[in-house]
Structure 1
């Protein structure tokens, strides 16, 4: 029996009509998509009647009314068009010709948009989301608006709908809207950058007008409450923390027996940047190879899902490790088997010996947990977490028997890699505690909080 069918207070959600605002809904492999799409079966399970508004970037869902709208601004149109063409024709010749042509035609308008407004590209999707949402609300077809992102345009549309119609509004904040610069910075200073300044004001409006709002880490909730002491006060939003979790792609299970091969395979999946770079691993490898020369031919780093960052490319040239690192690129949906890119990545991760979780080195790491962490847990392989200023993430990794290093401690990274190497050579890699964090608990937290307050 479903856990949602038992609590009496959750009976009140049956036949409620929820409008979901999610710019990147049903985009294969996108964290901002998975966070909401994984919740849909559980929301349907309790009897909620769903309608989804999204951009044209994802695959149209057939389980409920799903309306896809073009953004009205030129930069957002270019972004959405690229993904729509990729979904229709793949990323081959047609994709390259059409996307380059559209980019060329729109470049003057994009330049003008940035000069006049200076906002991030997806802001204009809020306009069609608001207009079509307003129509549904006026027709009496919406009881609650749920904005989620990802792109903050969904929250902007939710704010407009709340202020104009008074509809109940709940907001799910994926990444902090206010980016702090140092441990001493609480985020009170009004940013000079126009997009950052808009996000600063948007957070204050969410805290004031939303009925409920949640963040994905203790750190993000803490700093949001510091900046917005009205959270949880009467007449303002109720703020809380939810671990988003993840579902096992394609029903994946973690009980596959691992087989050691002739190489230690370290794998990373997800985006890379200068603040979250494989160069950290390559530098530690260089020290390991000096101590254990035989390891040079017995270690392989697999990178999935993102282009190599500039620092990694520089490290490859410096150390000449092109034969050690394999860049697999982005795995797309397999047209023959129908397996999604997300499923293909997790299948590859299951074959790995150890999974690399790069957290970054910016101050915002204190408020952020990589979404890949939750999928890594389903893969059932040892995790090597390199974290920065996030006790919550450190604790979750430690509880699951992970190898743990800190980004600013070069020695701890080198020691962890040496320990992994020795454990692999002795066929004694740490068997992870099978404690995946699923999405059911996230939906239960949200529904129980809404029904209890």
Structure 2
């Protein structure tokens, strides 16, 4: 059994997508002769919590914990709501930002590089250097964001010579919200320099998308593997399809995830089709920015909108399987082409058709097409979006609405863990 150390900020009871990836790898690693040890903060500030995920941690897994200094706690003195909103990644457009939010974003972007968890780096390196030596562990994995986790890996690599895999769940300098952090030129250069150093120091880099791999290959010669997120076989009660024509989005809707042509298409169908208006419901599950809510209401959809807020992961899965159509929305920017949300794979196995809206050339478009799980649209494609919704509605009326996916087995969490385990063993063996 090969022992590895995983360094992560997000771990149950943290909720949201950030915790899922490595929780699932840990869940299945022992099936492939890998014994994971997990290192996490003792007193983190999680914007979301989901205690149901605690039950997925395998029995006997060693979880190391050390205290972390969290500046977000002090920022809450100024505005608890603003701080929590920013920590979730929900940032209003510049015109709607309050003075406090602009100030917090400037401080976050320029004084906490690469992020507000940077103060955990030094004490973690001191603690883990001793632990690795005493326990004869020579392979570590860091996962970010927060990308300060990679700085821990970089320092441990330089001090001890351990094998180090840097896992990027999201990109670093090209992530969608980076340009909203009000970075000075010097701060941006510091981010770029740190990113390059991490990529060139790691023994192997793992990314979740094809576009991120392409971008990183322009920075480093370090080997890069694409290992996407995936779906797990969930043990939940059998669900019954909604009798209404429910179109649901599960997850955060940031300010930039605001497809106004989609809202317009829905409103026009309501106006033009009485049968549609009598059964249509737009269901949003998770945090929704005020900008998006305003657009939806301005489009005339208030009477058809249902806001559920954050729900436990098991309930989110149930909602996915009971909805008629699932929405996947990404910011319309070249910087978000690489984003492949973990929920995409859960959407795929729900057998509910997906309507995805995002930027041209998005990796999501490729995956949806390859798996026959739905349809992808660019933001400006109003007529096509409207026609597809109407087509799904007609199928709903006939009782035939469903997706007919192909080739999704390779995205199961267990199969992805097999790939990750083989990658780890290859690095250990020097391949």
Which residue of structure 2 lines up, in the alignment, with residue 298 of structure 1? 279
Which residue of structure 2 lines up, in the alignment, with residue 69 of structure 1? 66
Find out whether 1:206 has 2:206 as its counterpart. Answer: no
Deviation at 1:170, TM superposition (A): 0.7
Mapping of residues 110-129 of structure 1, within 5 Å: 116-117=111-112, 119-129=114-124
After superposition, the C-alpha distances for 1:109-140 in whole angstroms (9 at most, x for unaligned) are: 99988764465322223233222211212324
Find out whether 1:218 has 2:210 as its counterpart. Answer: yes
TM-score, normalised via structure 2 length:
0.80
| Uncovered stretches (5+) of structure 1, i.e. residues with no partner | 1-13, 87-107, 182-186, 232-236, 332-340
For residues 227 and 415 of structure 1, do their structure 2 counterparts lie closer, same or farther at Cα, with a shift above 3 Å needed? Answer: farther
Which residue of structure 2 lines up, in the alignment, with residue 367 of structure 1? 338
Mapping of residues 14-413 of structure 1, within 5 Å: 14=1, 16-55=2-41, 56-57=43-44, 63-75=60-72, 116-117=111-112, 119-179=114-174, 192=184, 196-228=188-220, 231=221, 237-249=222-234, 251-252=235-236, 259=241, 261=243, 263-277=244-258, 279-306=260-287, 308-331=288-311, 341-390=312-361, 392-398=363-369, 399-413=371-385
Matches of 1:109 and 1:411, distance apart in 2:
40
For residues 209 and 316 of structure 1, do their structure 2 counterparts lie closer, same or farther at Cα, with a shift above 3 Å needed? Answer: closer
For residues 173 and 195 of structure 1, do their structure 2 counterparts lie closer, same or farther at Cα, with a shift above 3 Å needed? Answer: farther
RMSD, matched Cα: 3.1
After superposition, the C-alpha distances for 1:295-352 in whole angstroms (9 at most, x for unaligned) are: 222200111121x223332234324422201000111xxxxxxxxx100111122111
Which residue of structure 2 lines up, in the alignment, with residue 7 of structure 1? none
After superposition, the C-alpha distances for 1:227-262 in whole angstroms (9 at most, x for unaligned) are: 32xx2xxxxx3212112213133x359xx686462x
Matches of 1:285 and 1:296, distance apart in 2:
9
Which residue of structure 2 lines up, in the alignment, with residue 415 of structure 1? 387
Point out which structure has higher relative CO (alpha carbons under 8 A, 6+ apart). Answer: 2
After superposition, the C-alpha distances for 1:43-68 in whole angstroms (9 at most, x for unaligned) are: 12233232211123476755322123
| Uncovered stretches (5+) of structure 2, i.e. residues with no partner | 85-102
Give every structure 1 segment of 4 or more consecutive aligned residues whose post-TM-superposition deviation is greater than 6 Å: 76-79, 108-115
For residues 125 and 357 of structure 1, do their structure 2 counterparts lie closer, same or farther at Cα, with a shift above 3 Å needed? Answer: same
Deviation at 1:403, TM superposition (A): 2.9
Q: How many residues align?
A: 384
Which residue of structure 1 lines up, in the alignment, with residue 93 of structure 2? none
Deviation at 1:72, TM superposition (A): 2.2
Contact 2:7 2:142 in 1 (8 A): yes
Contact 2:253 2:292 in 1 (8 A): no
For residues 390 and 216 of structure 1, do their structure 2 counterparts lie closer, same or farther at Cα, with a shift above 3 Å needed? Answer: farther
Deviation at 1:450, TM superposition (A): 3.9
TM-score, normalised via structure 1 length:
0.76
Find out whether 1:428 has 2:400 as its counterpart. Answer: yes
